[in-house]
Amino acid sequence: MANAFTHPFGRQAAISLPADVRLMQATANLVFVLAALAACAAAALWAARLPVFAIKAIRIEGDVARNSESTIRANAAHRLAGSFLTLDLQQSRTAFEAVPWVRHAVVRRVWPGRLAVRLEEHQPAALWLGTDGNDRLVNSFGEVFEANIGDVEDDSLPGLSGPDGSAAAMLSLLTRLTPLLQGVGAGDPVQLDLSTRGSWRVTLDKGAVIELGRGSEAEVMARTQRFVQTLPRVEAQYQRPLESADLRHAGGFAVRLKGVTTTVPAPPARKR
């Protein structure tokens, strides 16, 4: 029997297929497409694992002062998974940043079969004094990091002691306090402490301890600036070195020189 009929005007029209037949055809087409895609993916994965796509070399660039290139490769290479094509660059970056002294790594592919890794190392700026005796290092960005403290050439790094997460704020204040105190001959800060209640204290290399009080960096700096305005005059008057000072008093400072304790009124704040 014919599958078509003649239109009254002479045209031939096809009889539409039943819905279940159309569904079967669509399903068959979908299965065929999925099978083709799976075959392509399997072929691509097989090809990616061929020796021709293996990582043949790793080029190290940037800061390598603390680690030799061979040490960096030995610490990171075993963490790299995949071939040149399948390697996860983010995971590779994490592998290199796990190497001691490495702060940041950028990993990129270089055809054919090479990786270029640019490293940025931590620059130690201070010691982070742990309450459990586990001292760590603070870099120039105020980040606390783990490394062998014995590898630091500078044995005069100042110490920071404060609540977790406060290292950046403490390093910022220390950086501003240092030239201010050096400028009046008070000495170099060797330790800066921040209590859990927000009170600051600085210890100088000549042994003096200065209670800076509570408040923001701007408030602490303003009190310290007024204090250093008076310190040279007081030391000249008594001809004694500074042993301690307390800037927490309203309207003045309690100053202890060697063998002398006195209270000094604070000069008025400078107008800006």
Q: Higher confidence at residue 39 or residue 270?
A: 270
pLDDT at position 46, please? Answer: 46
The model's confidence at residue 154, banded by pLDDT at 50, 70 and 90, is confident
Over range 75-102, report the average pLDDT: 90
Is the full-model pTM beyond 0.85? Answer: no
Each residue of 125-143: pLDDT tens digit? 999 998 878 899 999 999 9
Strand 4-6 with 12-14, pairing = antiparallel
Domain definitions of the chain by residue range: 54-121, 124-265
CA 249 to each of CA 25, 221, 252: distance values in angstroms, whole numbers, following the listed order:
89, 15, 6
pLDDT at 135: 94
CATH, range 124-265: 3.40.50.11690
Distance CA 172, CA 139 (A): 12
Q: How does residue 104 score in pLDDT terms, banded at 50, 70 and 90?
A: very high
Which of 73-87, 99-113, 129-143, 188-202 is most confident? 188-202
- Which fold would CATH assign to domain 54-121? Ubiquitin-like (UB roll) (3.10.20)
> Which stretch of 1-10, 149-158, 258-267 has the lowest confidence by average pLDDT?
1-10
Specify the pLDDT at position 49: 52
Q: What is the pLDDT of residue 77?
A: 85
pLDDT of residue 212: 97
Q: What confidence category does residue 32 fall into, taking pLDDT thresholds of 50, 70 and 90?
A: low
Q: How many alpha carbons fall within 13 Å on the CB side of residue 91?
A: 9
Structure tokens of 162? 């404060």
Average pLDDT over residues 193-203: 97
Sorting pLDDT into bands at 50, 70 and 90, what band is 9?
very low
| Tokens representing residue 60 in the block | 């190290």
pLDDT at position 211: 98
Mean pLDDT, range 222-240, rounded to an integer = 93
CB 24 within 8 A of CB 75: no
Residue 105: band (very low, low, confident or very high) from pLDDT cuts 50, 70, 90: very high
Among 138, 260, 237, CA closest to 191: 138
What is the C-alpha to C-alpha distance for residues 196 and 33, in angstroms, rounded to an integer?
Answer: 64
- Give the CA distances from residue 243 to residues 32, 186, 207, 235, 246, in Å, rounded to whole numbers and listed in that order: 87, 10, 7, 11, 11
Crossing angle of helices 167-183 and 217-238, in 10° steps, is: 30
User: How confident is the model at residue 31, as a pLDDT?
Assistant: 65
Give the pLDDT score at 106.
96
pLDDT given for residue 163 in this prediction? 95
Check whether 51 has a pLDDT greater than 60. Answer: no
Q: Which pLDDT belongs to residue 13?
A: 46
